[in-house]
Amino acid sequence: MIKVTIWNEFRHEKKHDIVKHLYPDGMHTVIARGLAGDKDLQIRTATLDEPEHGLTEAVLADTDVLTWWGHVAHGEVRDEVVQRVQKRVLEGMGLIVLHSGHFSKIFKSLMGTNCSLKWREVAEKERIWTIEPSHPIAAGIPESFELPNAEMYGERFDIPTPDKLVFLSWFQGGEVFRSGCCWERGQGRIFYFRPGHETYPIFYNPTIIKIIGNAIHWAVPRIQKEDVCPNAKSLEVIPPRKVDYSFVPEAIRKNIPTA
Ligand code: ZN
């Protein structure tokens, strides 16, 4: 079984009228229900306002893949929880970052860049192109598909060049965007997936859920390994060696006791 934790900030659903009605139990619940048909997955959810944001040491130790949706409260995510998640990713846990999670502390810390982009919210059409059809995340996904209403995210998306770019978006207004990006950090796999704006019914779309499910399978840890930085004994015998100081200026060299 793949142990999945679906994390959601769960704030828009409590405050904004459209979102409250669209996702009365939260986006995390709709994503979890959408994935429920996959019998390989053992799913739990966690939200910002739970103690330790629902991401205790025990929960993370028992998570193979974490999905992340956040937007208005990135700054409220405690730094020690971010560090805990980052450590687990580097040890091998998979991480799927959705939509506005591009500005989350965890994504930015793993990317090391600003993760900024252009945006516009006018319910325009998005066409998503599958540009790596042989990639496991693209399994069963058509060459292209449309979201009738989307928030536009446009380039430049300030990320490190992805190891693999699986999806590319075109928007009615003319912009393009790298929408499905894969990276590896330490032993862990990371997938950023663009769709997921809270006021549109994105997570009720079966193609979107299928891609998230594929990404979870792709991001499963291959090994899980605590990071160490050991002083290593040589495997072969190395005869005693003197340090060569011959190219150090004489004025310096004469003061080095072993030179
Ligand atoms: Zn949005």
Per-residue pLDDT tens over the stretch 199-216? 999 999 999 999 999 999
Question: What is the torsional sign of CA 30, 32, 34, 37?
Answer: negative
**pLDDT number for residue 171:** 98
Output the CA 238–ligand 1 centroid distance in Å.
59
Q: Of 159, 179, 161, 160, nearest to 169 (Cα)?
A: 179
% of the chain exceeding 70 in pLDDT: 100
Helices (H), the chain: 12-15, 17-22, 27-35, 57-61, 79-91, 105-111, 206-218, 250-253
- Please tell me the distance from the alpha carbon of residue 234 to that of residue 254, in angstroms, as a whole number: 31
- How much is the pTM? 0.95
Question: pLDDT tens across 58-73, in order?
Answer: 999 999 999 999 999 9
* Residue 159: both structure tokens together: 């990320």
Kindly list the distances between the CA atom of residue 94 and the CA atoms of 109, 173, 196, in Å, as whole numbers in the listed order. Answer: 15, 33, 19
Output the CA 89–ligand 1 centroid distance in Å.
25
Output the CA 147–ligand 1 centroid distance in Å.
14
Output the CA 50–ligand 1 centroid distance in Å.
23
Question: pLDDT tens across 120-160, in order?
Answer: 999 999 999 999 999 999 999 999 999 999 999 999 999 99
**pLDDT number for residue 259:** 77
**pLDDT number for residue 258:** 81
Domain ranges of the chain: 2-110+177-219
pLDDT band at 225 (very low <50, low <70, confident <90, very high): confident
* Residue 231: both structure tokens together: 């002083």
Output the CA 32–ligand 1 centroid distance in Å.
20
Output the CA 116–ligand 1 centroid distance in Å.
13
Lookup result for tokens 């790298």: 178
Q: Which residues lie at CB < 5 A from ion ligand 1?
A: 100, 151, 197
Mean pLDDT of the chain, nearest integer: 97
Asked if pLDDT for residue 9 goes beyond 80, the answer is: yes
% of the chain exceeding 90 in pLDDT: 98
Burial class (CB in 10 A: 0-12, 13-18, 19+), 181: buried
pLDDT band at 167 (very low <50, low <70, confident <90, very high): very high
Output the CA 2–ligand 1 centroid distance in Å.
28
Output the CA 13–ligand 1 centroid distance in Å.
13
Output the CA 44–ligand 1 centroid distance in Å.
24
Asked if pLDDT for residue 92 goes beyond 90, the answer is: yes
**pLDDT number for residue 68:** 99
CATH of 2-110+177-219, one of 3.10.180.10, 3.40.50.880, 3.30.160.20, 2.40.50.100: 3.40.50.880
Q: Of 62, 72, 66, nearest to 19 (Cα)?
A: 72
Output the CA 21–ligand 1 centroid distance in Å.
17
Output the CA 200–ligand 1 centroid distance in Å.
9
Question: pLDDT tens across 172-192, in order?
Answer: 999 999 999 999 999 999 999
Asked if pLDDT for residue 97 goes beyond 90, the answer is: yes
Bridge-partner residues for 41, per DSSP? 2
**pLDDT number for residue 135:** 98
Lookup result for tokens 């945006």: 119
- Please tell me the distance from the alpha carbon of residue 129 to that of residue 178, in angstroms, as a whole number: 10
- Please tell me the distance from the alpha carbon of residue 43 to that of residue 162, in angstroms, as a whole number: 27
* Residue 14: both structure tokens together: 């409590």
